[in-house]
């Protein structure tokens, strides 16, 4: 039983990490109806920029700030160069455009910073002595619960995710820009009619998605190293989106938790029956598929009502 809880907890915490990536998708899909496949590449870009700045001896907060500026610039450029000329095109065209953007960003990132993997440690300062958040089990928690090992890093990531979601929720609910964002998400034309500048809003959304990508990139980079494989995170986030619904921020979090937990539990408990495991790759998708058969719009997605 204790093993079960350990797997479950590990899965839930890993799920939070997926949620971080999924959040970026949700933000952009909500506001512009674009399924942004480039989110994974944005995470990679942010992470490699950040880690290259750190290795160049830049202070961690300054590095974050510079990366954030870079991500916002990319967001604005994307809006200007890619999205604006494609207004009113079918969604699949926009989707393909973001795949093109993915290639571009992958090439650009590796052109600027090289393609070798980097290690990343989240520390408060560069010189010793320094406090780092490492992927180590928390001993006091294990003592408390009778030996359940939980990574200190995963817990930190969970707190970061919670803070991020809270900040986003406040931003969306309480600020003027947030209200405009929600209006745009609801109905483009109506938003335009009441004088909300669509283009600005999109630039902001892409900027915010860039910020989320930076956080996700830092977390994932610190966990698995900053490398090209980070771009495939986009694929991991997709079943999370299916379960949570494409338009819902809480859905992304809950979907992440569900996927993380089922994925790990399935690998441990079902894997041995399936040709020796390795089912982590497809199980989330099949799980999401079966889930969709019962609830086609995901947990919190908007119900689609069709009329002829």
Quick one: which H or E segment has residue 122? strand 122-123
Rank residues 87 and 163 by Cβ distance to other proteins and give the closer one: 87
Q: Does 286 bind other proteins (CB under 8 A)?
A: yes
Q: Does 275 bind other proteins (CB under 8 A)?
A: yes
- Candidates 1-9, 62-70, 148-156, 295-303; binding stretch for other proteins (CB under 8 A): 295-303
What are the residues facing 118 on neighbouring strands? Answer: 226
Q: Does 299 bind other proteins (CB under 8 A)?
A: no
Q: Does 198 bind other proteins (CB under 8 A)?
A: no
Rank residues 194 and 290 by Cβ distance to other proteins and give the closer one: 290
How far apart are the two ends of the chain, measured CA to CA in Å?
53
- State the number of binding residues for other proteins (CB under 8 A): 52
Sign of CA dihedral 288, 247, 40, 168: negative
CB atoms within 10 A of CB 270: 13
Rank residues 5 and 274 by Cβ distance to other proteins and give the closer one: 274
Distance between CA atoms of 21 and 217, rounded to whole angstroms? 8
Helix residue spans in the chain (DSSP H):
2-32, 39-55, 60-78, 91-113, 139-145, 152-174, 176-186, 188-193, 198-224, 233-244, 249-265, 283-294
The binder of other proteins chosen from 144, 190, 270, 289 (CB under 8 A):
289
We find the least distance from the C-beta atom of residue 243 to other proteins, in angstroms, to be 11
Which residue is associated with the tokens 């002829």?
Answer: 308
CB atoms within 10 A of CB 103: 11
Distance between CA atoms of 11 and 5, rounded to whole angstroms? 10
The binder of other proteins chosen from 174, 176, 293, 303 (CB under 8 A):
293
Distance between CA atoms of 186 and 173, rounded to whole angstroms? 14
Rank residues 64 and 264 by Cβ distance to other proteins and give the closer one: 264
Question: Interaction with other proteins in 210-239: which residues (CB under 8 A)?
Answer: 235, 238-239
The binder of other proteins chosen from 71, 97, 191, 218 (CB under 8 A):
97
CB atoms within 10 A of CB 209: 28
Rank residues 61 and 294 by Cβ distance to other proteins and give the closer one: 294
Distance between CA atoms of 174 and 187, rounded to whole angstroms? 19
The binder of other proteins chosen from 19, 52, 67, 102 (CB under 8 A):
102
Distance between CA atoms of 15 and 24, rounded to whole angstroms? 15
For residue 227, give both structure tokens.
Answer: 């490398």
The binder of other proteins chosen from 96, 123, 142, 183 (CB under 8 A):
96
Q: Does 202 bind other proteins (CB under 8 A)?
A: no
Q: Does 252 bind other proteins (CB under 8 A)?
A: no
The binder of other proteins chosen from 2, 59, 89, 166 (CB under 8 A):
89
Q: Does 282 bind other proteins (CB under 8 A)?
A: yes
For residue 183, give both structure tokens.
Answer: 């209006």
Q: Which residues bind other proteins (CB under 8 A)?
A: 35, 81-82, 85-86, 89-93, 95-97, 99-108, 110-111, 114-115, 235, 238-239, 241-242, 246, 274-276, 278-279, 281-282, 285-286, 288-289, 292-293, 296-298, 306-308
């Amino acid at each position: 039983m204790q093993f079960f809880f350990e797997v479950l907890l590990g899965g839930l915490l890993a799920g939070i990490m997926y949620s971080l990536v999924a959040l970026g998708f949700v933000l952009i899909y909500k506001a512009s109806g674009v399924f942004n496949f480039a989110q994974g590449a944005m995470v990679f870009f942010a992470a490699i920029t950040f880690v290259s700045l750190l290795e160049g001896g830049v202070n961690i907060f300054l590095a974050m700030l510079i990366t954030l500026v870079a991500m916002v610039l990319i967001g604005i450029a994307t809006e200007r160069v890619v999205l604006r000329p494609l207004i009113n095109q079918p969604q699949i065209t926009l989707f393909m455009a973001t795949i093109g953007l993915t290639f571009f960003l992958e090439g650009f990132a590796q052109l600027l910073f090289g393609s070798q993997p980097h290690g990343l440690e989240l520390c408060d300062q560069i010189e010793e002595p320094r406090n780092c958040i490492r992927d180590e089990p928390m001993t006091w928690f294990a003592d408390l619960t009778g030996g359940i090992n939980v990574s200190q890093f995963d817990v930190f990531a969970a707190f970061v995710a919670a803070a991020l979601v809270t900040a986003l929720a406040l931003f969306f609910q309480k600020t003027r820009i947030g209200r405009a964002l929600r209006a745009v998400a609801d109905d483009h034309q109506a938003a335009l009619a009441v004088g909300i500048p669509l283009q600005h809003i999109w630039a902001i959304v892409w900027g915010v998605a860039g910020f989320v990508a930076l956080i996700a990139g830092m977390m994932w980079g610190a966990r698995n190293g900053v490398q090209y494989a980070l771009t495939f995170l986009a694929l991991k986030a997709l079943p999370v989106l299916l379960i949570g619904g494409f338009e819902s921020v809480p859905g992304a979090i809950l979907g992440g938790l569900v996927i993380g937990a089922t994925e790990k539990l399935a690998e441990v408990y079902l894997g041995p029956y399936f040709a020796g495991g390795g089912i982590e790759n497809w199980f989330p998708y099949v799980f999401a598929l079966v889930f969709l058969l019962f609830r086609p719009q995901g947990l919190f997605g908007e119900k689609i009502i069709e009329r002829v």
